[in-house]
Amino acid sequence: MTTTVSGRLSDAHRKQFEAKLWQLMKVQVRRYTGGDSSSVPVELAEELLESVLFTLGIDPKGELNLDKLNLEMAYEDLLKMGQKRLEKKLTCAKWLWHELCLQLSPLENISLHDTLKGFDGFWKQYNASFFAHQIPCDIDYQLANPVPNTRKGVDYVIEYLTRLTLENTFLKAFETKRCKQVLETYYLDYKGLLVNLYEPVLYTALACNLLGKDVRRLSVKEVDLTVILKRFEGLTPIEISNLLKEQVLQLHHPLHLLDENLVKYAQTAAESLVPRIKEADTILHLKGVFFSTPCDQSLQP
Amino acid sequence: MHVLQILSDTGHTPKSLEILRESCNQISEKFGLSLSQNQIENIEKRRVQTLKETGRIEFGEGVIQKLIYAFCDSPYISASDYEDTLIELQDLFYHFKHESMESLSDDELIEAMAYGFNHKARGSLSYLSETYLEHISRLERGGFTEEEEELCDDDDCEW
């Protein structure tokens, strides 16, 4: 493990920090082993230490300063406070998950289903006392904007569920049948593959808005791609990015999605299109970015 | 600075070693055994080294006091080989702590070592290490078949 600490601490403060941490680790190891072992494997000690640092809110790879280190307080007290905070976060995470499961879009996807089901195990296995930084469950369903790996433990789970809720809220703003049609266009088997459901619907809505069409219909014809290509012709990457941001903001209005978190999330997701749009100098290339949806008479208003 | 540097055990301070030495000698002196400051420092240096070699880290005071308590009345330890024997026993302790996959507590392992040393090995550290403790570790790792376990000497489990 190659964690590093950087920060402008005096030698005396650094030694004080190390001594306090050592003492705290002594207590933690004794608790973990039930007093049965005075020594533990280094790998276990590393995990216990990472958990301690996470609980104390100390990022071993980040800049340290005296405020963060709280050298005046007893670290055991800080650890207890940290653990209480984590328990509250766990309750919050569970609530988020519960609400999401109740409000889930009817669109089916095995990895989404399995991931949500898998959180059952997380609530039971999450160990805030000794392994607070770990995420004891499989999170397979990929978000449009993945949670950074720097988030640990319950913090990661909260952020993941928050983002997934945003995606779900967006998907539910459309008729399920229209979403299905888009997904069937983008993916061979959207139900069985490890794919993200939100991106194709967002991109299709974006295409509709670029064309001045009703975004709720999620309808893009083959001929529309020429119009879209012209919209981006000659634009620099920054101009493409700004245009996409503006379009994403606009498309949320007819969907009555006013939460700025939804808009920001979608703008971040759309940002990934910039290099692909920039490279798309033909309709053929643009087809890899925006897909024309087949004309389904049953979905006509 | 590496945060994990705080996990590298640099050993006891001279003052704490002095206290440890006095505490250890209080137990062993009645059996004609005692450690000088130089000897306890050697044992401590070896402890730090062995922990590194076995990939372990120790946050407590070490097990030397417990080892002395368990072995000081052994008929197979004399004043002339006291330091060397303790170093070897300490080495074996950390090695077999690892080999038994943490399934034995410190006290259980020390008890097994003392029993093995005094009864099975009759003072032979190599027999203790290569035969008796290997056997115990294998039992703990579940390395024997049911038939092999039945053939094992019941005395091995006496400790």
Query: What six digits make up the tokens of A265?
Result: 């999330």
Amino acid at A169: T
pLDDT-derived band at B8, boundaries 50, 70, 90: low
In the predicted model, is pLDDT for residue B7 greater than 50? yes
Give the Cβ contact number of residue A290 at 10 Å.
25
pLDDT at position B66 is 95
In the predicted model, is pLDDT for residue B84 greater than 80? yes
In the predicted model, is pLDDT for residue B156 greater than 60? no
Burial of B127 (0-12, 13-18, 19+ CB in 10 A): middle
B59–A42: do the CB atoms touch at under 8 Å? no
Residues 43-82 of B with CB under 8 A from A: 51, 55-63
Question: CA separation (Å) from A60 to A4, A12, A170?
Answer: 6, 19, 37
Assess: ipTM above 0.90: no
DSSP state of A293: P
* Residue-by-residue DSSP string for B39-89: HHHHHHHHHHHHHHHTTEEE-SS-SHHHHHHHHTT-TT--GGGHHHHHHHH
Query: Looking at CA atoms only, how far is residue A85 from chain B in angstroms?
Result: 23
Of B1, B7, B56, the CB nearest to A14: B1
pLDDT at position A1 is 36
Identify residues of A whose CB sits under 8 angstroms from chain B CBs: 1-6, 14, 18, 21-22, 25-26, 29-30, 33, 36-43, 45-46, 49, 53, 60
**pLDDT, tens digit (0-9, with 9 covering 90-100), for A149-179:** 999 999 999 999 999 999 999 999 999 999 9
Residue with tokens 């230490």: A49
Query: Looking at CA atoms only, how far is residue B94 from chain A in angstroms?
Result: 8
Query: What six digits make up the tokens of B18?
Result: 């002095």
pLDDT at position B148 is 58
Query: Looking at CA atoms only, how far is residue B151 from chain A in angstroms?
Result: 30
A49–B62: do the CB atoms touch at under 8 Å? no
Q: What is the mean pLDDT of residues B81-106?
A: 94
B57–A2: do the CB atoms touch at under 8 Å? no
Give the Cβ contact number of residue A88 at 10 Å.
11
Query: For residues A40 and B9, what is the distance between their CA atoms, to the nearest angstrom?
Result: 12
Query: Looking at CA atoms only, how far is residue A34 from chain B in angstroms?
Result: 10
Query: For residues A21 and A15, what is the distance between their CA atoms, to the nearest angstrom?
Result: 10
Query: For residues B104 and B96, what is the distance between their CA atoms, to the nearest angstrom?
Result: 9
Interface test with A, best of B2, B4, B65, B107 (most A CBs within 10 A): B4
**pLDDT, tens digit (0-9, with 9 covering 90-100), for B124-151:** 999 999 988 888 888 887 765 555 555 5
pLDDT at position B137 is 85
Q: How many CA atoms lie within 13 A of A206 on its CB side?
A: 29
Nearest CA in chain B to A20: B6
Chain B CB contacts of A43 under 8 Å are 55
**pLDDT, tens digit (0-9, with 9 covering 90-100), for A12-68:** 888 888 888 888 999 999 999 999 999 999 999 999 999 999 999 887 776 666 666
B2 touches chain A (CB under 8 A): yes
Q: Which residues contact A182 (CB under 8 A, 6 or more apart)?
A: A200, A201, A204, A218, A291, A293
pLDDT at position A64 is 64
B98 touches chain A (CB under 8 A): yes
Chain A CB contacts of B6 under 8 Å are 18, 21-22, 25
Of A4, A22, A37, the CB nearest to B6: A22
Residue with tokens 């509709």: A208
Residue with tokens 């996990």: B7
**pLDDT, tens digit (0-9, with 9 covering 90-100), for B12-70:** 778 888 889 999 999 999 999 999 999 999 999 999 999 999 999 998 778 999 999 99
pLDDT at position A11 is 79
Query: Looking at CA atoms only, how far is residue A74 from chain B in angstroms?
Result: 18
Helical spans, DSSP H, in chain A: 11-33, 42-56, 66-69, 75-103, 110-125, 153-172, 176-186, 198-210, 224-232, 237-251, 260-271, 274-279, 283-286
Q: What is the mean pLDDT of residues B76-92?
A: 96
Amino acid at A57: G
Q: What is the mean pLDDT of residues B147-158?
A: 53
B110 touches chain A (CB under 8 A): no
Query: Looking at CA atoms only, how far is residue A118 from chain B in angstroms?
Result: 30
A5–B3: do the CB atoms touch at under 8 Å? yes
Query: Looking at CA atoms only, how far is residue B16 from chain A in angstroms?
Result: 15
Interface test with B, best of A32, A37, A46, A56 (most B CBs within 10 A): A37
A26–B59: do the CB atoms touch at under 8 Å? yes
Per-residue tens of pLDDT for chain A, all 301 residues: 334 444 567 778 888 888 888 889 999 999 999 999 999 999 999 999 999 999 998 877 766 666 666 777 788 999 999 999 999 999 999 999 999 999 999 999 999 999 999 999 999 999 999 999 999 999 999 999 999 999 999 999 999 999 999 999 999 999 999 999 999 999 989 999 999 999 999 999 999 999 999 999 999 998 898 899 889 988 999 999 999 999 999 999 999 998 999 999 999 999 999 999 988 877 767 777 888 877 554 444 4
**pLDDT, tens digit (0-9, with 9 covering 90-100), for A45-58:** 999 999 999 999 88
* Residue-by-residue DSSP string for A106-155: S---HHHHHHHHHHHHHHHH--TTT-TT---S---SPPSSPPPTT--HHH
Of B1, B59, B61, the CB nearest to A29: B59
